[in-house]
Each structure stands twice: as C-alpha cells, then as structure tokens.
Amino acid sequence: MSVRRLADASVQPKEFSFTPDNLAWAKKQLEKYPEGRQASAVIPLLWRAQEQHGGWVSEAAIHYVADFLGMPHIRVLEVATFYTQFQLQPVGRAAHVQVCGTTPCMLRGSEAIRKVCQERIHREPFHVSADGKFSWEEVECLGACVNAPMVLIVNDTYEDLTPETFEKVLDSFDRGVPLKPGPQIDRQFSAPVGGATTLTDPEIYATSPKGGTPLTDARAKTPGAAANVREAAVPQPPVGDATGKKQ
C-alpha cells in the first residue's frame, strides 16, 4: 500500500470551483440528506470534483468541497487521503490504471500485469507516461477476486486478464474507444469458466414464471457509465394509493 499524500505544491492549482452544471448537481445532492447531515455528501462531491479536474483531487478542490459542506478542511482531507478511488496527483489523460495486488490476484498473475504497467507506462507508480496518456498504481482488493487478476480504470473493472489482453485494454484507451469492461475471456460475469456447472437441467427453466429467458450480457454495464448510477429498478408507488384519494 502506498503512502497517500497531496501532490507537490508546484502542480497544485491555486483555485477550484464547480462548473455551473456541477454546482447545480452538487446542490441537488444536498437535498438527499436531512438538515445538518449534508457532510454525508462528501464522497460524491469529491468524486465529481475529481472528474471535473482531469481525474485527480487538488488541495484547492478539497478546501472547496469542505467549505461547500461546512466541514473542517482536515475532515475532507482525511476522506480524500483514505480512499484509493481519489487520486491526489495528476494522472494520465487516457487512463489511470489501478492494479489489484492482493493475494487472489497475485496468485493469478497480477505481477505480470504490473510488469506491463512498468514497461509501458512508467517504472514507478504515480508517474504519468512520457506521452501524458497513462499512469498506474497498485491497490488492495477491489472486490472482483473471482475474476482475478484484474484492474480498475476510472469506473470500470477489466478482469481475467493476461499480459496480452491487458495490453489490448490499454490500446483501446489509447484509441479513445475503451473495450467492454468485465471479463476479458469467454466468461459470463463471474460464472464458471466454460459455462454453467450447476442448474443445467433445462427442465428447471421450463416451469419458470419468466419463461426461462436466459441471462445475457446485452444489458451489462457499458464503458464509462457512472458507477453511482442506480442499477436496480426504481420502486414505483402502488396504483391507486393514498395520493390519489378523492374528496
């Protein structure tokens, strides 16, 4: 695990403020929380600040978010330096690669993935490549161990990697057309490699109330889609509820 410090003063911008669109969005976020609990919006606001500022959080952005939420600067600094989704120094324009190096990924080849980063991006983590497009770091478990080894790039995970397929992922970011996230082998989500090994009897699905429609990847997350988008169906009020009652 690396030491997480703010970037050198020489690269810190003097000021930060949200764009009008982001400001309107941030004000809307505050409405989600009860009066006096607006500090709960600190992570989404920091994330939006990072997106606005080329993929990293400056000291000015930390102060801005703290003032916006009425929090002491040190409290927001604690959040920004604790969570590895926040980058504290400039990152590559095309992609900042977070390579998982925890045990399951290590046992399945993360060393080779890291070597690709060292050879293709920079020998050391947290350095931007010579062309300014890429940067990388090693992080702890990102929760996709079953598809190890894997990397996280902005919002998306790329899994079941080999050095060759990882190079292709980097190529796709270089071209500006990222490959589809998820497993980079013929595996559906985190299902067994080679196909299902249980519940394979078609009879089970013949009696399904949904008619046994097979799961497909067609509705899988697309590259770049925001990670904080609600993916579950939004509950609807019951038809003819109390809000429609007649006088």
- Report, in Å, the least distance between residue 103 CB and ligand FES: 6
Name the residue nearer to ligand FES (CB basis): 102 or 188: 102
- Report, in Å, the least distance between residue 85 CB and ligand FES: 14
Name the residue nearer to ligand FES (CB basis): 88 or 105: 105
Q: What is the CA radius of gyration of the chain?
A: 22
Hey, how many other C-beta atoms are within 10 angstroms of the C-beta on 193? Answer: 13
Name the residue nearer to ligand FES (CB basis): 61 or 100: 100
Name the residue nearer to ligand FES (CB basis): 140 or 171: 140
- Report, in Å, the least distance between residue 146 CB and ligand FES: 8
Whether the Cβ atoms of residue 139 and residue 98 lie closer than 8 Å to each other: yes
Q: Give the residues lining the site for ligand FES (CB under 6 A).
A: 100, 102, 104-105, 141-145, 148, 150
Distance from chain centroid for Cα 32: 22
Name the residue nearer to ligand FES (CB basis): 53 or 187: 187
- Report, in Å, the least distance between residue 76 CB and ligand FES: 27
Strands 156-159 and 182-183: parallel
Name the residue nearer to ligand FES (CB basis): 44 or 104: 104
C-alpha 224/C-alpha 203 separation (Å) is 39
**At 199, is the secondary structure helix, strand, or coil?**
coil
**Order of strands, sheet of 156-159, starting from the edge strand that comes earlier in the sequence:** 134-139, 95-100, 151-153, 156-159, 182-183
Phi-psi region of 211 (alpha: psi -120 to 50; beta: other; left: phi over 0): left
- Report, in Å, the least distance between residue 149 CB and ligand FES: 7
- Report, in Å, the least distance between residue 75 CB and ligand FES: 29
